[in-house]
Structure formats: structure tokens, C-alpha cells
Structure 1
């Protein structure tokens, strides 16, 4: 009985290897150049690069930091994680996600209501904008 099971396992694994080896490579899709509406855009949080630490700070010859308090406040405002909303075309719903102010795309709304107004079914078709 165990010999029969071993033979069965061998045959299954042999066949699977042959099937997997004969499968074609997955297709390579080109990046989409234009979307029918900003609501079709994938969510993009625009995350910032990691902040500099004190050890990374550059100093001038007199030992003073090259970065002043204004730079520090600016960096803190950019790198703060914000709650924004994006529209998901598959579910036709708006969802929250964490975002920063370092890029991203237009499928990023400050409030749930803004997202729903702009992208609910029917409203985005009227404002068909190529991006």
C-alpha cells in the first residue's frame, strides 16, 4: 500500500513539474498613460524619504548646524502622516489611508465627503478628465 502511495505521489509531482515547466511567462503590462478619470488612479500615499537623524546632520567649519529651525519645522510638516481618502473603482467606495506631502496623485482627498462627491458612480463620468 505504501508503495502505491509513493508511486502516486511521484506521478503527481512529475506531472505538476511538466505542467509548470510548460506554462508561458506572465505577460508584461505597459504602464497606463491615461486614465479616464482621477477616480481610476491607484492610491498613492506620496510617502516621504526617511528623515535625517542628528548623526546625519552636516555641520559647518564653526561647528554650527547647517539646518536651522525653519528647515526643521518645514520637514516636520511634510513628513507628518495624514489621513486621506482614495476611491477604489473595484468596490466603488472611498477608503482612508495614511499619506504625506511628498508626491502622490489626485486620487487623494482630504475628507470622505470630498471623495464621495468627486468619485461616486455617475459623477466622475460627467467630469471625464484625461490624466
Structure 2
């Protein structure tokens, strides 16, 4: 029983590693997975300017963070957002 659970645990770990290797090998331009999370303002009532990575426009956009909750696609500065999600490459928007 213990031996089987160790084998299954190692197999699952190997599967997870294989998935991430596959993803980052075939999509090297993709930033960390946190950059693919949707904008989430949070659950409180503050209004703090933050930046999130927008996958549709491939750019960092400002939003108002409420101070609690939300997700990891939440950066203090626009520069931090680009450094994490685009490896420093800023895409100029025509808008």
C-alpha cells in the first residue's frame, strides 16, 4: 500500500513537471501563469491604483484594487507588470 502510494505520488509529480515543460517549451514567449489570471479588484472598499496584465492586448493596464482579496495578477507598478509578464518588453498601444 505505502509503496503504491509513493509510486503514484512520483508519477503525478512527473506528470506535472511534464506539463510545465511542454507548456514553456512550446510557448516560450508566455509569461508566468499568474499573468493569465483575469483582473480582480478584490473584496474590500479601498481604491489603490495597481496594474494587471491583459492577455488580449498583451499590455499592462491600470485598475483600482480594493486592498484585499483578488489574485496574483496585481502589480504595484506598470514596470513590475511588464518585467514579470513580458520580460521587460513594453508593447505600445495605438489607442
TM-score class normalised by the smaller sequence:
0.5 to 0.7
Q: Which structure's relative contact order is higher, taking Cα pairs within 8 Å and 6+ residues apart?
A: 1
In structure 1, list runs of 5 or more residues that go unmatched.
1-35, 49-78, 124-131
Higher strand share: 2
What TM-score, normalized to structure 1?
A: 0.40
Aligned to 1:111: 77
Higher alpha-carbon Rg: 1
What do you get for the CA RMSD once the two structures are aligned? 1.3
Structure 2 length-normalised TM = 0.55
Distance, in Å, in 2 between the alignment partners of 1:102 and 1:85 is: 15
Match of 2:36 in 1: 40
Aligned length: 56
Moved over 2 A (4+): none
How far off its partner does 1:101 sit? Answer: 1.7
Residue in structure 1 matching 2:56, options 77, 90, 111: 90
Summarize deviations over 1:78-112 as a string: whole Å, max 9, x none: x4210000001111000000012220000000000
Report the 3-state secondary structure (helix = DSSP H, G, I; strand = E; otherwise coil) of the residue aligned with 2:52.
strand
- Is there any run of 5+ residues in structure 2 with no aligned partner, and where? 1-31, 88-95
